[in-house]
Amino acid sequence: MRLAVLDIGSNTVHMLIFDVVRGARPVAYASQRFTMRLMRYLTHDGSINDEGLARLLDAVDSLMVMAREHEVDEILTIVTSAIREAVNGDEILAEIDARIDGDLQVLSGAEEAAATFLAARRWFGWVAGQLLVLDIGGGSLEIAAGVDEIPDVAESLPLGAGRLTRTYLHHDPPTKEELKELRTAVRAGLQPVAARVRESIDPDYVAATSKTFRSLARLAGMSLDSLGKNDRWQMSTSQLRDWVPRLAKIPAEQRMELPGITAERTFQIVAGAVVAVEVLQAFKIENVEICPWALREGALLRRLDQVE
């Protein structure tokens, strides 16, 4: 069975194609993505404008061509917060649905968190014990924790790097006043959820997923020895906290010269770093390990569990 996962997110539209074998590790043999940064195309009333819609649909059309060229048997299409929360989201979903083969799954924030948690649990295994998983996307922050494959806690907050950049950081580089307002907003948004989660869990292991965390780890963390071809990265909260004020002083174009900072993340990496520091401090986390698997892999793993 040849399966494709089409992930339509806030920052990218990304397709991975797998040859599925039950019991085998899922490794994509083909991959293509388009950078969207949909938060740039939001109007004042919360709609995604015509330019953003056109770019999104062009990306979907291109990836559907790719899927047909590779003779994919099934396409698993998932949509997350940027489109889900847009005022014209239903119209956009109808446009996407008309272009794709197969079903369209619009994930809630809690479902995003749970699927990402499953990916991290499978990656780190049962030895990780009580696992806490953090994921910073373009539109939202997901927090999930538990001892099994289904998390006991699955929360989603509107604290994504793209959303916060658009709302609070209007200058490049941002001003001190903008950064202060951003930190205040992130702390206020985190506080009730963090307090509730801390009451119910005492994590043995903390993992972070998403391109934002991976970029920050390459900037402020360290590479660890690991088995296999995958890089293993760890980052301390103190290292990251030291980097944030320096990162905020560098214009976006120059940030790409730093390790780990790519063109698609350079404009929103400061907001992402602020969220990362605040969530790690809120849970009193000293070190976090980066998990290479996230939402796409979690959605795939759920589907693989159903394959006969």
Average pLDDT over residues 143-151: 96
Cα 93 from chain centre = 20
The pLDDT value recorded for residue 58 is 98
For 22, 59, 63, 232, 256, the CA distances from 263, given in Å and listed in that order, are: 37, 18, 21, 22, 6
Tokens of 145: 């924790």
On whether the CB atoms of residues 122 and 301 are closer than 8 A, the answer is: yes
Q: Do the strands 205-209 and 222-224 form a parallel or antiparallel pair, or are they unpaired?
A: unpaired
In this predicted structure, the answer to whether residue 24 has a pLDDT above a threshold of 90 is: no
In this predicted structure, the answer to whether residue 95 has a pLDDT above a threshold of 80 is: yes
Could you tell me what percent of the chain has a pLDDT over 70?
Answer: 98
C-alpha–C-alpha distance, residues 51 and 226, integer Å: 44
The pLDDT value recorded for residue 255 is 96
Query: Structure pTM?
Result: 0.94
Average pLDDT over residues 10-33: 89
Model confidence pLDDT, tens digit, residues 176-235: 999 999 999 999 999 999 998 988 889 999 999 999 999 999 999 988 766 566 678 999
Average pLDDT over residues 261-266: 89
Cβ within 8 Å of residue 141, ≥6 positions away: 134, 135, 156, 157, 158, 159, 160, 275, 279
C-alpha–C-alpha distance, residues 6 and 305, integer Å: 18
For 30, 104, 123, 124, 226, the CA distances from 145, given in Å and listed in that order, are: 31, 27, 15, 13, 24
Measure the CA dihedral 48/51/57/61, to 10°: -160
Average pLDDT over residues 143-165: 96
C-alpha–C-alpha distance, residues 91 and 245, integer Å: 41
Of the pLDDT bands very low, low, confident and very high (cuts 50, 70, 90), residue 168 is very high
Of the pLDDT bands very low, low, confident and very high (cuts 50, 70, 90), residue 82 is confident
Q: Spell out the domains of the chain, with CATH numbers in brackets.
A: 2-106 (3.30.420.40), 110-295 (3.30.420.150)
In this predicted structure, the answer to whether residue 1 has a pLDDT above a threshold of 90 is: no
